[in-house]
Structure 1
Amino acid sequence: MNRIGFVFQSSPHSTTKGREGLDAILAASAYSEDIQIFFIGDGVFQLLENQQPELVLSRDYVAGFKMLSLYDLEETYVCQTALQNRGLKDNNLLIDADVITNQEINEKLSRCAQVMVF
């Protein structure tokens, strides 16, 4: 099966994109093991720990990202520049992910047969 890339570029709880993206990943994992997940731009906020979505009357789907490892989805990447620009470090993240450069993200995305953006 072809490699599928999932890109998160939206902040959580402002739209349903994050929740829909997580649902799409979990559904796709039933059919493919060749999945890569990228968090770029404001998408890095998807992985920020200690979120309180109930304050904005939103469902807490972010904890669902912890399930990625249970589905053997371990190719998870976070944009180094996005973290730095937002004053975040990898230890602020809910899950373990590889922090890589923009160039590395572009190279990996270019090898994906399909890319879905959320």
Structure 2
Amino acid sequence: MKSMLFILTHAPHGSSFAREGLDAVLAASAVCEQISVLFEGDGVWQLLKGQQPQAILQRHIEPTYGMLSLYDIENCYVSESDLLSRAVEPSLLSIDVQVIDDAGVAKLLRENALIVRF
């Protein structure tokens, strides 16, 4: 498998989608040469710094995002239009990601052999 794109679209809390998506990304790194991760829709909320999910009895996943580089996952992107529609500044994000426009998102979709959406 040459290239794989994970699109993370769910808010970080209230369901298991964010955690399961992140776990799938890390697991796929063992069998895939090139993994990219795109945060779009409500998935941009996963990247906000300083979340306190313990207050709602949820597991904190923000520290796990720091492990992406340890798994050689360096191609992380966030949709510019989804940041703008949610009034989220890139400076508020917990990890370094490339902010890409809609054309960049379309390019990612074309360039990856397998696309998995969470």
The corresponding residue for 1:85 is 85
3-state SS of 2:36 partner: strand
3-state SS of 1:95 partner: coil
Over the aligned positions, Cα root-mean-square deviation in angstroms equals: 0.9
Q: Report Cα offsets for 1:29-85 as digits up to 9, x if no partner.
A: 011130010001110001111001111110112220111011111100000111111
The corresponding residue for 2:116 is 116
3-state SS of 2:66 partner: helix
The corresponding residue for 1:56 is 56
TM-score (norm 1): 0.95
The corresponding residue for 1:45 is 45
3-state SS of 2:11 partner: coil
Identical-pair percentage: 42
The corresponding residue for 1:100 is 100
The separation in 1 between residues aligned to 2:33 and 2:63, in whole angstroms, is: 21
- More displaced, 88-97 or 102-111? 102-111
Answer whether contact 1:33 1:73 (CA < 8 A) is retained.
no
**How many pairs align?**
118
Which runs of 5 or more residues in structure 1 are unaligned?
none
